[in-house]
């Protein structure tokens, strides 16, 4: 429950500190006095967005701080999961700086708005006038029914599996799309890969083949040159070998005369040995030369194949062709891998579908069993609220679509009077009837939820007299198990509260300020009397106010 609220520099409020008690509290005040401002400030600590227009003095920051007593509400898990310090008396603070920046704190630890909103879900239900419209929305109707049916654990399990199901389904669709795109190019990629694979390319092969081609295509010229070289080297009378031997022999005769001749003789010997080796190599090359037209043709064909592949793939080297071959192989293999992934995802999706369908059926069955009980409870409360002939028909149908809360669709059908047909709630219920139905719903939900606090903002719209009195009784009864606030214009409801606060405005010079005060007994009598008769309070209004309070 909320135990206190402190507001500084917010809208028409300069500074306000107020303590709250448990039970049923009333907030009244003239239209425009600042009741909506109070809710707006509370909304800030509950995670609503804010802007500079919220600041009364644009040069100073706005601070809203609320204290909550949460010992009874098992919120330790929330604090642990958000890495926050838990306190039985928790303080939530919101600051809006003149720069427009906003800061939020839970027990002095900085938090973001999402964390505030998540915590507020466990703390306060603020029922504003527009929320009555939610009665006609399917999601809200399911929330009512699921609370009665105690489906919370089933829904948590369902949502967990649904998340996996949707992820798996999304992954499957993505894989199928990828496969479709790959299959469009599969045959062409396979052709290109097989073409490169069949070529049996090797790194450095192009240079080797080009050398072979040059050698094989110039056999006659090479042979002619070798013959000339060997003739020059080995000619009997004037051959280079014979001349070198003679040169070495004559030089050898001078060796004994100086070390210089010895060195020159050794160098001449080396030349002779080297040249002799060259001649032997030329002889071997001459013997190996073979005019092989078939090999020449094979080399030429392989070269033309490589040149054509280079042109086709717009590259210059065999290494680049091999890289393309590897890429194409990956694309060809990826088809099989994608098909395998798709098969596994389809099996997984089918298993999740079975599990999800099973839980959805449980949820649906539980809802159907709760329908009669909900209808009876609503009728019983609405009978007290001046609707003796009200009837409800809640229809649940199963669909083939997995929604966020199951596979069902729901219709709340309503009839307020004898002899009238059932119609959709949003089409046939008046504003006053919707207000009473919403109060009945909240009264029922309070018996099933552990929510600490509920705030009714003019839920009495469209009702008066004895009906308002009964609405007050219902809210008072709800306050036995939770903290209840009612912002109201009706004296019948105002008289039911255990405590009564009044919102009012004061004007000093050019400055207008909203204030909130706790009324004592005499002030409360006067406030209710004014609600009954206006500013000119009559004796009968005072007596009526006292009677209502008694």
Indicate the helix (H) or strand (E) that contains 352.
Answer: helix 318-384
How does DSSP classify residue 404? T
Sign of the dihedral through C-alpha 75, 78, 79, 81: positive
- Segment 246-259 shows an average pLDDT of 82
Name the average pLDDT for the chain.
86
Percent of the chain clearing pLDDT 90 (strictly above): 35
Say how far apart CA 146 and CA 226 lie, in whole Å: 103
Q: Which residue has the higher pLDDT, 501 or 241?
A: 501
In the predicted structure, residue 193 carries a pLDDT above the cut 80: no
Task: Work out the number of other CB atoms within 10 angstroms of the CB of residue 272.
Answer: 16
Q: Pairing relation of β-strands 483-487 and 24-28?
A: parallel
In the predicted structure, residue 331 carries a pLDDT above the cut 70: no
Query: Which residues contact residue 499 at a Cβ distance below 8 angstroms, ignoring those fewer than 6 apart?
Result: 20, 21, 23, 24, 25, 26, 518
* pLDDT value of position 288: 67
Query: Which residues contact residue 72 at a Cβ distance below 8 angstroms, ignoring those fewer than 6 apart?
Result: 450, 452
Grade residue 322 by pLDDT with cuts at 50, 70 and 90. confident
* pLDDT value of position 11: 85
Coil, strand or helix: which one is 421?
coil
Q: Out of 174-188, 302-316, 484-498, 528-542, which region has the weakest mean confidence (pLDDT)?
A: 174-188
Say how far apart CA 439 and CA 446 lie, in whole Å: 10
Grade residue 2 by pLDDT with cuts at 50, 70 and 90. very high
Say how far apart CA 41 and CA 11 lie, in whole Å: 9
In the predicted structure, residue 291 carries a pLDDT above the cut 80: no
CA dihedral 318, 323, 325, 330 (to 10 degrees): 170
The model's pTM: 0.66
Q: Which of 117-131, 188-202, 340-354 has the highest mean pLDDT?
A: 340-354
Q: Pairing relation of β-strands 24-28 and 499-508?
A: parallel
In the predicted structure, residue 451 carries a pLDDT above the cut 70: yes
* Contact (Cβ atoms closer than 8 angstroms) between residue 453 and residue 124: yes
* Contact (Cβ atoms closer than 8 angstroms) between residue 384 and residue 352: no
CB burial string 65-89: b at 16+ within 10 A, e below? bbbbbbeebebeebbeeeebeebee
Say how far apart CA 507 and CA 511 lie, in whole Å: 6
Q: Out of 29-33, 175-179, 423-427, 434-438, which region has the weakest mean confidence (pLDDT)?
A: 29-33
Sign of the dihedral through C-alpha 114, 115, 116, 119: positive
Grade residue 476 by pLDDT with cuts at 50, 70 and 90. very high
In sequence order, the β-bridge partners of residue 94 are 64, 104
Q: Fold for domain 1-123+452-519? A: Rossmann fold (3.40.50)
* pLDDT value of position 333: 57
* pLDDT value of position 332: 63
In the predicted structure, residue 461 carries a pLDDT above the cut 80: no
- Segment 371-394 shows an average pLDDT of 91
- Segment 111-140 shows an average pLDDT of 85
* Contact (Cβ atoms closer than 8 angstroms) between residue 411 and residue 423: no
Domain boundaries, the chain: 1-123+452-519, 187-333
Query: Which residues contact residue 438 at a Cβ distance below 8 angstroms, ignoring those fewer than 6 apart?
Result: 127, 131, 132, 135, 459
Q: Out of 118-122, 203-207, 413-417, 541-545, which region has the weakest mean confidence (pLDDT)?
A: 203-207
- Segment 251-259 shows an average pLDDT of 82
Q: In what order do the strands lie in the sheet with 13-19?
A: 13-19, 2-10, 62-69, 89-96, 102-106, 109-111
In sequence order, the β-bridge partners of residue 8 are 15, 63
What tokens does 192 get?
Answer: 């290109």
């Amino acid at each position: 429950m909320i135990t206190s609220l402190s507001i500084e520099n917010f809208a028409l409020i300069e500074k306000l500190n107020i303590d709250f008690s448990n039970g049923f509290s009333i907030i009244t005040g003239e239209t425009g006095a600042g009741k909506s401002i109070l809710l707006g400030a509370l909304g800030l600590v509950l995670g609503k967005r804010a802007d500079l227009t919220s600041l009364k003095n644009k040069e100073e920051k706005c601070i809203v701080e609320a204290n909550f007593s949460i010992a009874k509400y098992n919120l330790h898990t929330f604090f642990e999961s958000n890495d926050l310090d838990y306190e039985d008396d928790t303080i939530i603070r919101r600051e809006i700086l003149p720069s427009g920046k906003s800061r939020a704190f839970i027990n002095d630890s900085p938090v973001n708005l999402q964390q505030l909103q998540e915590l507020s879900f466990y703390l306060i239900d603020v029922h504003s006038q527009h929320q009555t419209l939610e009665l006609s929305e399917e999601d809200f109707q399911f929330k009512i029914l699921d609370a009665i049916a105690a489906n919370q654990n089933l829904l948590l399990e369902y949502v967990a599996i649904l998340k996996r199901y949707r992820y798996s389904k999304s992954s499957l669709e993505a894989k199928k799309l990828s496969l479709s795109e790959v299959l469009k190019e599969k045959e062409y990629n396979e052709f290109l890969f097989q073409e490169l694979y069949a070529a049996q390319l090797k790194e450095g092969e192009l240079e080797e083949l080009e050398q072979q081609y040059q050698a094989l295509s110039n056999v006659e010229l090479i042979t002619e040159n070798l013959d000339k070289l060997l003739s020059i080297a080995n000619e009997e009378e004037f051959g280079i070998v014979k001349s070198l031997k003679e040169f070495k022999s004559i030089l050898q005769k001078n060796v004994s005369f100086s070390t210089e001749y010895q060195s020159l003789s050794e160098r001449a010997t080396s030349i002779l040995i080297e040249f002799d080796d060259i001649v032997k190599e030329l002889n071997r090359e001459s013997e190996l030369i073979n005019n092989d037209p078939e090999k020449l043709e094979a080399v030429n064909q392989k070269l033309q194949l490589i040149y054509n592949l280079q042109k086709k793939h717009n590259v210059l080297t065999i290494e680049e062709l091999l890289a393309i071959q590897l890429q194409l192989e990956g694309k060809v293999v990826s088809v099989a891998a994608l098909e395998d992934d798709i098969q596994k995802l389809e099996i997984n999706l089918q298993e999740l579908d079975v599990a999800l369908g099973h839980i959805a059926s449980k949820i649906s069955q539980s809802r159907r069993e709760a329908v009669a009980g909900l209808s009876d409870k609503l009728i019983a409360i609405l009978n007290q609220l001046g609707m003796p002939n009200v009837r409800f028909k809640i229809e649940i149908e199963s669909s083939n679509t997995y929604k966020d809360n199951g596979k069902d669709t729901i219709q709340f059908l309503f009839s307020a009077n004898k002899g009238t047909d059932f119609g959709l709630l949003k089409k046939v219920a008046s504003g006053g009837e919707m207000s009473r139905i919403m109060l009945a719903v909240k009264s029922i939900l309070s018996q099933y939820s552990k929510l600490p606090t509920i705030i009714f903002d003019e839920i009495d719209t469209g009702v008066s007299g004895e009906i308002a009195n009964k609405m007050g009784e219902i809210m008072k009864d709800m306050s036995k198990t939770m903290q209840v606030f009612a912002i109201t214009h009706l004296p019948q409801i105002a008289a039911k509260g255990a405590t009564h606060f009044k919102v009012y405005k004061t004007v000093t010079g050019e400055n207008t300020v909203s204030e909130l005060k706790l009324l004592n007994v005499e002030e409360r009598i006067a406030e209710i009397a004014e609600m009954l008769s206006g500013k000119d309070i009559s004796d009968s209004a005072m007596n009526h106010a006292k009677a209502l309070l008694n």
